[in-house]
Chain A
């Protein structure tokens, strides 16, 4: 009887420890599954990251108040023009842009001014956004490349490096 109680006690303790571990944040690293994001577009439609599965997805964390992020957008547009080809067979690049804006009009104005054609989402919570915590953001611009199955294949590539990586993955 005493053994059974001890066993139940130990099993309970192990269960609790395991719970705690699963609650702890997993590091964001190459090889890991990109945590799900589901946020609203400027039009109010909820779009999830997983809805883009099957494509090579660049998750771009940016904001209209972040000067280097805004400066990078024309470059991303060039890459998007080069590697986004959904009608063709083979790998297709898509972009899922998560904004850390806090004011909707500023966010919308920036998208319009820069004329960005890809998915735009935000919870308009600035640095208090839970997504910033999940993705352990330390600063923006920050991006991740996710493969067709949702696994992270590259972290924070910009400019020429990003182009080269994409050209290897998508082909010319």
Chain B
């Protein structure tokens, strides 16, 4: 009887630990937090506003579509990550840095994770990932946001 009680307590603890670990895995799966996701409209407004201090915008996908953005190239390639590091090395760490890809939904994108990690590792206090849930066509171009 005592044995059964003990084993059910152990099992209970195991279950709790497992569910806690799963939640932890879910929350730590991405290198960015929700607050680091930059709404597209916010960036479009910043680009359209005259005179305002603009963020540093860097393309880490197949093509630099957003006006004024620097082109590091797809973040899945090592050479492009080096290019990104070089672009970032000359920047003020407190400047807002927005990276974007837009090839495909985040779940399928091979570029945003390695690139965002670099921005964070370099200690930028305002590292942002442009929130493009689908792709740059439906979430940016089709909304008539500026294109270069």
Contacts and interface: CB of A to CB of B under 8 A. Distances in A.
Interface of A: 63, 65-68, 101-103, 106, 125-128, 132-133, 137-140
Interface of B: 61-63, 65, 74, 102-105, 108, 110, 134-138, 141, 147
A103 B59 CA distance: 14
A132 B147 CA distance: 15
A126 B147 CA distance: 12
A131 to B, nearest CB: 11
A139 B134 contact: yes
Contacts of B104: 66, 139-140
B3 to A, nearest CB: 52
Given A128-B147, A132-B137, A65 B65 contact: no
Given A65-B103, A66-B103, A128-B147, A139 B135 contact: yes
B102 A127 contact: yes
A68 B62 contact: no
A128 B110 contact: no
A127 B135 contact: yes
B103 A137 contact: no
B141 A102 contact: no
Given A66-B103, A127-B135, 9 more contacts: A65-B61, A65-B103, A68-B108, A125-B63, A126-B62, A138-B135, A138-B138, A139-B135, A139-B138
A63 B141 contact: no
A102 B64 CA distance: 10
Contacts of B62: 63, 65, 101-103, 106, 126
Contacts of B137: 127-128, 132-133, 137-138
B61, B104, B105, B136: which has the most chain A beta carbons within 10 Å?
B104
Contacts of A127: 63, 65, 102-103, 135-137, 141
Considering residues A66, A68, A126, A137, which has the most beta carbons from chain B within 10 angstroms of its beta carbon? A126
Contact of B65 (A63, A126, A133): A126
Contacts of A101: 62
Q: Which of B74, B135, B141, B147 has the most CB of A within 10 A?
A: B135
Contacts of A139: 104-105, 134-135, 138
Contacts of A67: 108, 110
Closest 6 pairs between A and B when the two form their complex, measured CB to CB: A102-B63, A126-B63, A127-B137, A102-B62, A65-B62, A127-B136
Nearest to B101: A65
Contacts of B136: 126-127
A132 B136 CA distance: 11
B134 A138 contact: yes
Contact of B63 (A66, A68, A128, A138): A128
A67 B103 CA distance: 10
Contacts of A66: 103-104
